[in-house]
Structure 1
Amino acid sequence: MKKILTIAGSDSSGGAGIQADLRTFAKHNLYGFCALTVIVTMDPDNNWGHGVFPIEIATIDSQIRTAIDGVGVDAIKLGMLPTPEIISHVAAKLEVLKGKQPVVVDPVMVCKGDKPLFPEHAEAIKTQLIKHATVTTPNLFEAAQLAGMDKISSYEEAVMAAQKIMELGCGAVAITNVGSVMEPKTSADLYYDGEELLLVEGAFIDTHHTHGLGCTFAAHVAANVCKGYSKRESVVLAKEAIRAGVKHHFALNQYVGTLNFEESFKNID
């Protein structure tokens, strides 16, 4: 059984973060390790407001060493790294590994409106992490931040962003939800590896029950890469799984809903 490490946050509501990653890895028949970087909670008495509690770097380091030095892993997936210091520490770990394992970077950015809440956080991801990515999976907001653009409002701007992100040194980029800025609206994602530009199509599903979508998509990409699929195949297969899951979405409570994990995994090898 191949082994994969997720370095990411814990989502106390269960739909995203390490919970989504490990569930996805298990369905792919992979052995999942985890290194917790932050605990995220939700306040049911305050409109589901989020609490963010970073883990000490020494504790994160011990978890990473448990997986990589103690056993060994075949792939790594990065999720929420809540501070520039944690980003720098994880980046230093990847620098030592020097591409021994494929790495999928989900460049999770804490944001408010259309501006980053912590600009230095986005900058650290851009300058220190993306160069280590076999594939990076930003959403539209994150892609704009990585590309140094104010926002992405069209397919043409998404292509421009993908080209700029590739210049940061990653192996491929998959910008999610590009179809939402196209006409007619779809759920298409944009894949680019420096040579091939591919719009991975999907019919638009009108729902706000998308909690954990980005984490789960990146986890599928990481699992597929770990299993030996090409970057392109990994993204296309991940899209198919997410499409099935969103089609059968459901509510968790009055504030948030998520994709149906079981539907996502029906066609997984």
Structure 2
Amino acid sequence: MNGTTQALTIAGFDGGGGAGMQADLKTFQERFVFGTSVLTALPIQNTKGVTNVFDLPMDAIEEQLVSIKDDFRISAVKTGMLFTAEITALVAEFLRTADFGPLVVDPVMIAKSGHALLKDSAVQAVKEELLPLAYVVTPNVPEAEVLTGRTITTKEEMIKAGREIQQMGAKNVVVKGGHHLEGINSEDMLLLENGQVEWLFGKRIDTKNTHGTGCTFSACITAELAKGYSVFEAVTTAKAYIQAAIEDGLSVGNGNGPTNHWAYRKVENNE
């Protein structure tokens, strides 16, 4: 019954299907991992943006976590949108005792539309409660700037920010350059637990359809870790997966469209 690799996402909802819990579950499925989920918040959103956010009652979140722990054998877990300090603290407290495997933290803060997905009061909770539990944390440049309080405009500053985040307790840190730094390539910095720095490169794609890229990237890392791959292997696969998903984009919605979660299948099949 428990022979299938299983992973958990603790995240917010996206009715538009391109980000949040929906993106995570789609990615798990594409990477041959059975996905389970715990809902933390309900953003009202589509490709055009977020219009409102409703957080779930604390009891409802805790009971979901208990329910998953009671029935599934989770091999890796990721957190996405946590929204409030209270939710962040609750999730961190639960994860300290749950045997859910390595934790991937995607410190979701701002939607593509600019709407806050993490309250300012919750940033400190992420730093103090969640990062010390993280096996991998995956901030983009603006998120890394918030976590460290430093401006990041160069590769050297990405490394410095990564080391500072590592000092907060996270074992491995990915600082994503993406569309936030200039250049013909999208460059992500991976700082491994042993202090080694690796750079992952992808061709920069001129597209507005990047909704859910951070969720998808971190979900792919989670799936690969659940299957037993190393951090370097997991992040390398995730970089290739999201590169394919952006390159072979979808025409869905009227705003920042989603990435193509099944595109990497074509790459692997040489299609």
Q: TM-score by structure 1 length?
A: 0.90
- The structure 2 residue matched to 1:5, chosen from 5, 8, 23, is 8
**Secondary structure, aligned partner of 2:83:** coil
Give the conservation status (yes or no) of the 8 Å contact 1:4–1:32. Answer: yes
Distance 1:135 1:29 in 2: 21
CA distance 1:117–1:267, shift in 2 (3 Å): closer
Moved over 4 A (4+): none
2:154 is the counterpart of 1:154: yes
Segment of structure 1 superposing worse, 100-109 or 80-89? 100-109
SS in 1 for 2:203: coil
Q: Which segment drifts farther, 248-257 or 128-137?
A: 248-257
Structure 2 match to 1:120: 121
Q: Which structure 2 segments of 5+ residues have no match?
A: none
1:15-164 paired onto structure 2 within 5 Å: 15-42=18-45, 48-97=49-98, 101-110=101-110, 118-149=119-150, 151-164=151-164
Q: Is the 8 A contact 1:11 1:17 kept in 2?
A: yes
Distance 1:48 1:103, change over 3 A: closer
Q: In 2, Cα distance between the equivalents of 1:17 and 1:253?
A: 16
Instruction: Report how far residue 219 of structure 1 moved.
Output: 0.2
Q: Give how far 1:10 is off.
A: 0.7
Q: Which has the higher mean CA deviation after the structures are superposed, 35-44 or 203-212?
A: 35-44
* 1:250 aligned residue: 250
- On the 8 A contact 1:9/1:38 being kept in 2, the answer is yes
Question: Does the 8 A contact of 2:83 with 2:118 survive in 1?
Answer: no
Q: Which has the higher contact order (CA 8 A, sep 6+)?
A: 2
User: What SS does structure 2 have at the residue aligned with 1:224?
Assistant: helix
Q: How far apart, in 2, do the equivalents of 1:253 and 1:43 lie?
A: 8
Amino acid at match of 1:2: T
Q: What is the rounded CA distance, in whole Å, between the counterparts of 1:43 and 1:217 in structure 2?
A: 20
Partner of 1:232: 232
1:132-162 CA distances to partner (integer Å, 9 max, x unpaired)? 111111111111112222x311111111100
In the TM superposition, residue 42 of structure 1 has moved relative to its aligned partner by 2.5
1:172, CA displacement in angstroms? 0.4
Q: Deviations 1:197-254 (Å, cap 9, x if unpaired)?
A: 0110111111121000000000000000001110111101100011111111133222
The question of whether the paired residues in 1 share the 8 Å contact of 2:137 and 2:170 is answered with yes
- CA RMSD of superposed structures (Å): 2.4
Deviation at 1:181, TM superposition (A): 2.0
Is the alpha carbon distance of 1:116 and 1:33 closer, same or farther for their aligned partners in structure 2, counting shifts above 3 Å? closer
* Identical counterparts, % of pairs: 35
Offset of 1:264 from its aligned partner? 2.6
Q: Secondary structure at the match of 2:12?
A: strand
Please say if residues 165 and 173 of structure 1, whose CA atoms lie closer than 8 Å, have aligned partners that are also in contact: yes
- Evaluate the alpha carbon distance shift between residue 230 and residue 55 of structure 1 in structure 2; reply closer, same or farther with a 3 A threshold: same
Runs of 5+ consecutive residues of structure 1 not aligned to the other structure: none
